[in-house]
Amino acid sequence: MVLRKLSGWKARCLSLAGRVTVAKAVLATLPTYTMQTVVLPKRICLIKWDDVCQPVTCGGLGFRHFKTINEAFLMKLAFNMLVRRNEYLWVRFIRANFERTEQHFNQDRVGWRCNQDRSFMVKSAYIVRHGEVIGPSNRIWNIIHTFQSLPRIKLFMWLICHRKLMTNDERACRHFADDPSCSIYGAACEDIDHVLRWCPATYQTWNDLIVPNKMYSLSMDISDWIAMNLQGDSNFAKNPSGWPVARDSAGRWLFGFSKFIGACSVTDAELWGAFVGLNLAWDKGFR
């Protein structure tokens, strides 16, 4: 079934952000009905699933543990068999055919104590089984989560703040490569800071874009650096006129955009930029 779902979307062409969206919106819901009736077999994850299952404000992607949610669904079945003895046909059938002795419960006392109305909730059962193991919150996760941008860009920043980009240094740590150095400029260690800030080519790019008195920001912690950029400081850019961005009368960043238009002239590109920018401004309520 999973292969049939993926084949329609040409999964091989999806970016990492696209695969996360597919997994959360569709693939994660496929086993839901199966989890309500049987115990799922165990599988080995190739990543640290506990981190991915953290809330988005704590550095995760908001997934849930399949085994635990499976147990919560099965707990709901058991609860219905004990408390709602005559409400469901399947409960009456199972009790009539498999219950050997009649059991009597005081209906005023039997209930799910995790809810005030004593009704069973899968969400609270999930917390009971898994525990509220929530990692430390950091403002950068909320900044990335609420930032208005493409999912692939937000996921890229999420990977940066987790320091999980597949640089040569990371590849060497995972035994995917023997040499952690930069293959272009020969630096001893091609880590995230080198790729994004200190590689000569990258540094020259920042030097061309950022005003001189703001170059100190490159020495900041990578998460603080991203947070400062996402929160929008209008005094960083040397010449933002060529960028597809919109600013208010005080120069504060409002939104940016991009559009693929193929091969065209400079005039056509500028006209498309004006057209798309005005439409976005109108849709966002700017008049």
Write out pLDDT tens, residues 168-219. Answer: 998 888 777 888 998 888 888 999 999 999 888 888 888 877 878 888 888 8
Flag whether pLDDT at 35 surpasses 80: no
pLDDT in tens, 37-58: 767 656 544 468 788 888 888 8
Bridge partner residues of 253 (DSSP): 247
In Å, how far are 4, 29, 120 from 94, measured between CA atoms?
A: 35, 27, 20
Identify the CA nearest to 63 among candidates 157, 156, 126.
126
State the CB neighbour count (10 A cutoff) for residue 208. Answer: 9
Is pTM beyond 0.75? Reply is no
Average model confidence (pLDDT) across the chain: 77
Q: Supply the DSSP string of the chain, one letter for each residue.
A: -HHHHHHHHTGGG--HHHHHHHHHHTGGGTTHHHHTTSPPPP---SS-HHHHTS-GGGTS-----HHHHHHHHHHHHHHHHHH-TTT-HHHHHHHHHH--S-----TTT-S-TTSTT----HHHHHHHHH----PPP-HHHHHHHH--S-HHHHHHHHHHHTT----HHHHHHTTS-S--S-TTT--S---HHIIIIISHHHHHHHHHHB-GGGGGGGGS-HHHHHHHHHT--TTSBS-GGGSSEEE-TT--EEEE------S--HHHHHHHHHHHHHHHHHHTT--
User: Each residue of 233-265: pLDDT tens digit?
Assistant: 556 665 554 556 777 777 666 777 777 777 777
pLDDT for position 241: 47
**Span 88-111, mean pLDDT?**
66
Query: pLDDT at position 46, please?
Result: 47
Q: What CA–CA distance (Å, rounded) separates 180 from 172?
A: 6
Q: How far apart are CA 197 and CA 202, in angstroms?
A: 6
